[in-house]
Amino acid sequence: MTYTMQKIPEKGDTVVVGMSGGVDSTLTALMLAKKGCKVIGATMSLWDGSLPEIKTGKKMRESCFGPGEEENIEECRQFCKAHGIEYYVIDVKETYKQEILEYFKREYRSGRTPNPCIRCNMLIKFGALLAGLENLNIKYDYFCTGHYAKIVRPDSGLFGTDKRPCMIAGAEDVSKDQTYFLYRVPSDTLEKVRFPLATMKKADVIKLAQEAGLDAANREESQDFIGEEYFDLIFADKPSVPGDIIDLDGHVIGRHRGIEHYTVGQRRGLGVALSYPVYVHSIDAKNNLVVLAPNEALNSKSLIADDFVWAGGAEPEEAFDAMVKIRLASKPAPAIIEKYVKDENDKNEYKGQPWKVTFVEPQRAVAPGQSAVLYKDGVILGGGVIYRTI
């Protein structure tokens, strides 16, 4: 199937740029302003001060949720003032707390591995933020961010339908691909979304920002949802429940400090000394167990995913092949995707129609709670949340 990249805003268009203070979004705003667009800057306010500020004596890595937000907002405000750009701060703290922080804790305490960035893009950055702009009666032609991705439209209908929705495709800079995080943003929302850095390399973005004298060019990139220093504090609302660490044969080989501190594929911090390397194979939340195994035992041939979204709502009827990513850092792997039909032995409760993904080659450390995102010709067809492995 062929696709056409959707046009980037032109001179005279009114564009809202979602700004974080980082180099990507800052340069996006500057480029559009120089192009002759009417640019409006908007930043989400997430930090509610619910966690105490930690002083470590060393510079902490930039993160999305943390006490450095005020400084980031001030940098955005000063940039916009210097370039004659309207600027707004949209308060999404309560929505963020309920939809991201509570989800994050709930998933880990259920023995699953959450992906807060995927959920944040869907519900906050391309959800609550846009709702906040609407509440302020701010009108715009496009909403732009500094993501490395493309918005494309298929030249013919998807899966034999007449649907030709806006879809997400990979950017030119494969090393900065962020499409995995965006797969749940609805196609209707994507109609007015554009990513002006889609055809640029990160090195060129840095160079242009430096030439423009942007302070953001020297700022460390945001790497995490939350700084690792704050991880334990997030879970301080309830005491951790220690339990047994077992091997695949059920032998107790150690004690864990609470299943929320572990994830599939983890090796460091297990507190277990054996004569061979072991990793978290699975987490049994019902029995409060962490299961360890050698690396070769972490491979899975198939998985079941549910809570699917499809581009434009075009859900396929037949099995098909696609490239599948099971985490941001993994390479897309070839697989067959087919509807999963429960038998009498499957007592699980799935959200919507579950799908079975069978890989050509087994994949390592498939983690329930992460997403399986389906690509065809470099474009996202849809994706779902990994429920279990087979």
CATH code for position 257: 2.30.30.280
How many Å apart are CA 4 and CA 166, to the nearest integer?
10
How far is the CA of 122 from the CAs of 102, 155, 203, in angstroms?
Answer: 16, 26, 28
Q: State whether residue 283 is helix, strand or coil.
A: strand
Residue 63 has what pLDDT?
A: 73
Res 43 pLDDT > 80: yes
Confidence tier at 279 by pLDDT (50, 70, 90): very high
Percent of the chain with pLDDT over 70: 97
Paired strand residues for 252: 246
| Same domain, yes or no: 164 and 15 | yes
Average pLDDT over residues 284-301: 97
Shared domain for 277 and 222, answered yes or no, is no
The reported pLDDT for the residue numbered 244 is 98
CA dihedral (191, 322, 350, 307) in degrees, to 10, reads -20
- Separation of alpha carbons 71 and 45, rounded Å: 12
Same domain, 51 and 166: yes
pLDDT category of residue 55 using cuts at 50, 70 and 90: low
Least confident of 29-33, 34-38, 250-254, 343-347: 343-347
Cβ atoms within 10 Å, residue 86: 13
Range of the domain at 310: 299-389
pTM: 0.94
Start-end of H helices in the chain? 23-35, 69-82, 93-96, 102-109, 116-120, 129-135, 187-190, 202-211, 231-234
Same domain for 134 and 38: yes
Instruction: For the beta carbon of residue 169, count every other beta carbon within 10 angstroms.
Output: 18
Instruction: Single out the residue in 186, 207, 230 at which a domain terminates.
Output: 230
Percent of the residues in the chain that have a pLDDT greater than 90, as a whole number: 86
Same domain, 260 and 305: no
**Mapping DSSP to helix (H, G, I), strand (E, B) and coil, where does residue 317 land?**
coil
Give the confidence band of 59 by pLDDT, cuts at 50, 70, 90.
Answer: low
Same-domain check for residues 24 and 118: yes
Q: Which residues contact 132 (CB under 8 A, 6 or more apart)?
A: 42, 90, 91, 92
Share the mean pLDDT of the chain: 94
The model's confidence at residue 303, banded by pLDDT at 50, 70 and 90, is very high
The number of residues making up the chain comes to: 390
Letter for the amino acid at 316? P
* Residue recorded with tokens 């032998």: 251
Q: Which residue is it, tokens 């715009």?
A: 140
What is the total count of domains within the chain? 3
Whole-number pLDDT of residue 57: 57
Average pLDDT of the residues in 166-171: 96
Where do we find the tokens 């500020």? Answer: 53
Give the integer Cα–Cα distance in Å for 245 and 293: 11
pLDDT digits (tens, 9 = 90+) for 309-368: 999 999 999 999 999 999 998 999 999 999 999 999 999 999 999 999 999 999 999 999
229 has a pLDDT exceeding 80: no
pLDDT higher than threshold 90 for residue 101: yes
Q: How far apart are the C-alpha atoms of 183 and 215, rounded to whole Å?
A: 31
pLDDT digits (tens, 9 = 90+) for 106-157: 999 999 999 999 999 999 999 999 999 999 999 999 999 999 999 999 999 9
Pair 193, 62 in one domain: yes
